[in-house]
């Protein structure tokens, strides 16, 4: 499969290219040339217009859309330009170029306000007293959107436009609400990661399954490893994709 990966030189993009290079033929799209990591043919563009994206998408079997500002506290003007407008341009370009499948890097921040509720607020803080992870009600793909920031709103927008393009134009869309993906692939930087960590190889597995799953229409999955204290549900990804996480943050504690 010929796959375009936007934001290809970023933290997640560069790791996916390295881990999945034997399964997919990648080209990249980014605003800056790659500085390190795997070298793939890369289109350099700000992608402010649909026509900036179309040449890179021509003839592709799918796209992994990672490009945008990744920080939760990104100022609104940057969120609007780089996360919302860019994402709309990406979907429209896929429609025009007849790219059949989009894996959209959504975020746990699209439902981030659930973490203000118990027991998730306690788990986030590392207070497990009296809690049993085996009976924990986890947040699943049917939960209402509760974005916790302008950044979270932009990811909710991406999911919304993905559903729209799926139902109106037949695009196959998988939205991955990615948890905490760390540069060093280590969940011990803070206690919240004990619940939210997604290892490099688990995210690579999810992305690969999203690209190759037959009969996909529109789906939402949580990009999180099989952490004992996770508060997001992965049973839907297991049922639809066959996702079987290889890692658990608890092994590091």
252 is catalytic: no
List the beta bridge partners of residue 106.
177
Cα 233 to Cα 43, 48, 137, 249, distances in angstroms: 36, 35, 9, 15
* Residue 195 CB coordination number (10 Å): 25
* Residue listed under structure tokens 């933290």: 11
Query: Do the Cβ atoms of 48 and 67 come closer than 8 Å?
Result: no
Q: Which of 120, 128, 151, 222 is catalytic?
A: 151
Q: Determine the angle formed by the axes of helices 86-97 and 50-57, rounding to 10 degrees.
A: 50
Query: Do the Cβ atoms of 94 and 6 come closer than 8 Å?
Result: no
Q: What residues are annotated to the active site?
A: 151
């Amino acid at each position: 499969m010929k796959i375009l990966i936007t934001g290809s030189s970023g933290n997640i993009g560069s790791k996916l290219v390295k881990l999945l290079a034997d399964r997919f033929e990648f080209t990249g799209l980014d605003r800056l040339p790659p500085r390190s990591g795997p070298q793939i043919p890369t289109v350099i563009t700000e992608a402010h217009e649909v026509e900036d994206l179309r040449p890179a998408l021509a003839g592709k079997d799918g796209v992994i859309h990672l490009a945008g500002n990744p920080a939760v506290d990104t100022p609104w003007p940057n969120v609007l330009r780089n996360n919302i407008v860019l994402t709309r341009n990406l979907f429209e370009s896929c429609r025009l170029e007849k790219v059949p499948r989009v894996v959209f890097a959504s975020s746990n921040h699209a439902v981030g306000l659930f973490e203000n509720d118990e027991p998730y607020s306690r788990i986030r803080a590392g207070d497990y007293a009296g809690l049993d992870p085996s009976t924990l009600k986890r947040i699943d793909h049917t939960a209402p959107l509760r974005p916790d920031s302008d950044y979270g709103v932009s990811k909710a927008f991406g999911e919304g436009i993905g559903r729209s393009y799926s139902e109106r134009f037949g695009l196959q869309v998988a939205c991955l609400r990615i948890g905490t993906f760390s540069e060093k692939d280590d969940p011990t930087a803070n206690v919240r990661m004990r619940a939210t960590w997604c290892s490099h190889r688990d995210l690579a597995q999810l992305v690969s399954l999203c690209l190759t799953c037959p009969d996909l229409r529109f789906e939402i999955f949580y990009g999180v490893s099989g952490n004992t204290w996770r508060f997001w549900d992965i049973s839907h990804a297991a049922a639809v994709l066959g996702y079987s996480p290889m890692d658990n943050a608890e092994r590091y504690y």
